[in-house]
């Protein structure tokens, strides 16, 4: 069956240009480091002015809805389904897709009660093909890497980007090079990159060191970088917000809360919200708030100590290894997003992250530690009066529970905080722990356990 709607009248795939977020310079092409040749700021993708006015919001919404009935790969992708707002492809077959996106929006009734908001939803990006939100960006960026004629793609990563990149490279017949900090990423993520055939280098440095090295590498070797500095990544990640608003029947929630690491995702979601408002797809902007781990709080400090004017880097340390990033590349884009939407930026402790992760798990949903900062952050925003008790909130869960089993096992066994300054305080988490029990293989032992659990 062919797509019923890809050539719908009035709907087009967008032609694009690169725009420097600092000086506003427009260009048809970008250098390998995706920085402005004049002022060295990051680039974003923009679509020629005036074109937007030809968009008919009602027609677009029905085109996107109808594409869900199609069986073509490009329409089955929850990213390319929104291709009218993405850089144009010459033909549909060019897209490298694993049918990413199409992620569920769940109610979190118990977490809503805990936080005191009436309606709490979670958009679970961890249910993408490789288990994280990175797939939405990777399908677009890997596609354009191949179109640009590259044989090799590369990234620095705390694990999820590398897993995603390796998968899309393999699907697209590209070779991939992964730079990860040695000993600082979860085995689940590392094993994905290996299985998808990446050349995987564990470097004796942190994420920031890996990214620095990659920036030099791309200027010396013919490899195409797929970190979120690459603006094609952010265009793909934009569709998370389009899909979310479609799931909400285009009624914006009051707040969207997202974890902040290298700050690509918050930048992408913010760009999508502004574009949706400008195109008349939504009538008002939700507030987009960014939450960081206390030990990796570069954006929090940048806003508090430098009023968002210059980056304050930190030496990052957190058990939420996905966001163990001290020198976030897209900090300036994130500051713009906070300003545009009126969102807040907060930090949460290791104990608060562990507690929130267990609470999301207890809803039968689960996520990786970095995603749980959103719920921990919401509690804080409610306490500070930045989220009002009558407001609707959506948490963006960025990674799957299975991404970091060591964290989950450590939590439930009770060793997560052993020997750390948080050990005493972590006793407060005991009611949430469900440690596995080793028993004799007898009926009495199992029934005794059942009775004991019924009482607790
Ligand atoms: N959540 C998860 C699960 C992540 O993997 C990341 C980033 C983030 C949140 C933060 O998103 O960087 O766009 O602000 N992971 C990267 C990686 C950096 O290499 O996988 P961000």
Each residue's pLDDT tens digit, 215-233: 999 999 999 999 999 999 9
The pLDDT of residue 51 is above 80: no
Any residues with CB less than 8 A from the CB of 341 and at least 6 apart, and which?
Answer: 270, 273, 274, 285, 286, 287, 288
The pLDDT of residue 11 is above 80: no
In this predicted structure, what is the pLDDT of residue 300? 98
Residue with tokens 């799931």: 247
Q: Are 411 and 272 in contact (CB under 8 A)?
A: no
CA of 454 from ligand 1 middle (Å) equals 39
CA of 323 from ligand 1 middle (Å) equals 6
In this predicted structure, what is the pLDDT of residue 48? 79
For residue 158, give the ligand 1 atom closest to its CA.
19
Region of poorest pLDDT, from 24-28, 52-56, 184-188, 232-236: 52-56
Q: Whose CA is nearest to atom 10 of ligand 1?
A: 261
Q: In a mutational test of the pocket of ligand 1, which residue from 190, 322, 360, 407 has the highest number of ligand atoms less than 8 Å from its CB?
A: 322
What is the value of pTM for the model shown? 0.95
Instruction: Calculate the CA 378 to chain-centre distance.
Output: 17
- Six-digit token string for 372: 């749980």
Nearest to 6 by CA among 97, 94, 68: 68
The pLDDT of residue 50 is above 80: no
The pLDDT of residue 292 is above 60: yes
The pLDDT of residue 64 is above 80: yes
Residue with tokens 């029990």: 437
Query: Quick one: pLDDT band at residue 80, thresholds 50, 70, 90?
Result: very high
What is d(CA 159, CA 240) in angstroms, rounded to the nearest whole number? 20
Any residues with CB less than 8 A from the CB of 451 and at least 6 apart, and which?
Answer: none
CA of 160 from ligand 1 middle (Å) equals 7
Percentage of residues in the chain with pLDDT exceeding 70?
96
In this predicted structure, what is the pLDDT of residue 7? 34
CA of 370 from ligand 1 middle (Å) equals 8
In this predicted structure, what is the pLDDT of residue 91? 94
For residue 267, give the ligand 1 atom closest to its CA.
13
Q: In a mutational test of the pocket of ligand 1, which residue from 176, 206, 238, 398 has the highest number of ligand atoms less than 8 Å from its CB?
A: 398
What is d(CA 82, CA 369) in angstroms, rounded to the nearest whole number? 30
For residue 370, give the ligand 1 atom closest to its CA.
1
Nearest to 395 by CA among 276, 278, 261, 253: 253
In this predicted structure, what is the pLDDT of residue 5? 31
What are the Cα distances from residue 370, in Å, to 110, 258, 318? 20, 10, 9
Q: Specify the pairing of strand 43-46 against strand 17-20.
A: antiparallel
What is d(CA 395, CA 297) in angstroms, rounded to the nearest whole number? 19
For 239-290, write each residue's pLDDT tens digit: 999 999 999 999 999 999 999 999 999 999 999 999 999 999 999 999 999 9
Measured from CB, residues less than 6 Å from any atom of ligand 1 are 132, 134, 157-161, 228, 259-266, 322-323, 368, 370-371, 398-399
Q: Whose CA is nearest to atom 3 of ligand 1?
A: 399
Q: Looking at residues 192-204, what average pLDDT do you find? A: 98
In this predicted structure, what is the pLDDT of residue 49? 64
Q: Are 334 and 302 in contact (CB under 8 A)?
A: no
Q: Are 291 and 376 in contact (CB under 8 A)?
A: yes
The pLDDT of residue 8 is above 70: no
Ramachandran quadrant class, 116 (left: phi over 0; alpha: psi -120 to 50; beta: rest): left
In this predicted structure, what is the pLDDT of residue 234? 98
Q: Specify the pairing of strand 26-27 against strand 17-20.
A: antiparallel
What is d(CA 166, CA 216) in angstroms, rounded to the nearest whole number? 21
CA of 201 from ligand 1 middle (Å) equals 19
For residue 156, give the ligand 1 atom closest to its CA.
19
What is d(CA 173, CA 180) in angstroms, rounded to the nearest whole number? 22
Mean pLDDT (the chain, rounded): 95
Nearest to 380 by CA among 118, 119, 116, 107: 116
CA of 161 from ligand 1 middle (Å) equals 7
Q: Looking at residues 378-400, what average pLDDT do you find? A: 97
- Please write down the HEC assignment for all residues of the chain: CCCCCCCCCCCCCECCEEEECCCCCEECCCCCCCECCCCCCEEEEECCCCHHHHCCHHHHHHHHHHHCCCCCHHHHCCCHHHHHHCECCCCHHHCCCCCCCCCCEEECHHHHHHHCCCEEEEEEHHHCCCCECHHHHHHHHHHHHHHCCCCEEEEECCCHHHHHHHHHHHHCCCEEEEEEECCCCCHHHHHHHHHCCCEEEEECCCHHHHHHHHHHHHHHCCEEECCCCCHHHHHHHHHHHHHHHHHCCCCCCCEEEEECCCCHHHHHHHHHHHHHHHCCCCCCCCEEEEEEEHHHCHHHHHHHHHCCCCCCCCCCCCCCHHHCCCCCCCHHHHHHHHHHHCCCEEEECHHHHHHHHHHHHCCCCCCCHHHHHHHHHHHHHHHCCCCCCCCEEEEEECECHHHCHHHHHHHHHCCCCCCCCCCCHHHHHHHHCCCCCCCCCCHHHHHHHHHHHHHC
In this predicted structure, what is the pLDDT of residue 456? 80
Gyration radius of the chain's alpha carbons = 22
In this predicted structure, what is the pLDDT of residue 1? 31
């Amino acid at each position: 069956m062919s797509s019923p709607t890809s050539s719908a009248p009035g709907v087009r795939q967008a032609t694009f240009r690169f725009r420097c977020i600092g000086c506003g310079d427009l260009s048809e092409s970008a250098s390998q480091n995706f920085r402005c040749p004049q002022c060295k700021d990051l680039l974003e993708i923009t679509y020629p002015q005036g074109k937007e006015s030809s968009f008919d919001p009602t027609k677009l919404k029905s085109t996107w809805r109808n594409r869900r009935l199609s069986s073509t790969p490009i329409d089955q992708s929850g990213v390319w389904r929104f291709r009218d707002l993405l850089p144009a492809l010459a033909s549909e077959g060019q897209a490298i897709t694993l049918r990413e996106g199409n992620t569920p929006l769940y109610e979190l009734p118990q977490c809503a009660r805990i936080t005191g908001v009436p309606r709490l939803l979670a958009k679970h990006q961890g249910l993408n093909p490789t288990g994280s939100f990175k797939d939405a960006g990777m399908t677009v960026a890997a596609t354009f890497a191949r179109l640009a004629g590259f044989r090799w793609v590369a990234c620095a990563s705390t694990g999820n980007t590398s897993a995603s990149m390796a998968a899309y490279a393999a699907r697209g017949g590209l070779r991939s090079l992964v730079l990860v900090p040695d000993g600082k990423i979860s085995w689940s993520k590392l094993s994905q990159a290996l299985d998808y055939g990446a050349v995987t280098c564990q470097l004796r440095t942190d994420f920031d060191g890996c990214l620095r090295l990659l920036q030099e590498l791309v200027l010396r070797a013919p490899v195409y970088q797929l970190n979120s500095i690459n603006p094609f990544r952010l265009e793909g990640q934009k569709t998370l917000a389009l899909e979310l608003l479609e799931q909400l029947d285009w009624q914006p929630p009051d707040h969207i809360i997202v974890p902040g690491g290298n700050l690509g995702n918050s930048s992408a979601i913010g760009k999508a919200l502004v574009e949706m408002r400008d195109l008349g797809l939504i009538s008002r902007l939700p507030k987009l708030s960014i939450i960081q781990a206390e030990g990796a709080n570069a954006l929090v400090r940048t806003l508090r100590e430098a009023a968002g004017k210059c980056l304050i880097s930190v030496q990052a340390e957190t058990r939420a290894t996905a966001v163990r990033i001290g020198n976030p590349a897209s900090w300036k884009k994130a500051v713009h997003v906070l300003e545009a939407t009126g969102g807040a930026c907060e930090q949460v402790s290791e104990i608060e992250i562990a507690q929130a992760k267990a609470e999301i798990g207890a809803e039968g949903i689960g996520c990786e530690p970095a995603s749980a900062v959103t719920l921990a952050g919401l509690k804080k925003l409610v306490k500070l009066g930045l989220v009002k008790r009558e407001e609707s909130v959506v948490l963006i869960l960025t990674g799957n529970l299975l991404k970091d089993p060591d964290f989950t096992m450590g939590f439930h066994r009770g060793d997560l905080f052993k020997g750390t300054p948080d050990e005493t305080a972590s006793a407060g988490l005991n009611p949430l722990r469900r440690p596995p029990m080793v028993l004799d293989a007898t009926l009495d032992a199992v029934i005794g356990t059942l009775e004991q659990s019924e009482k607790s």
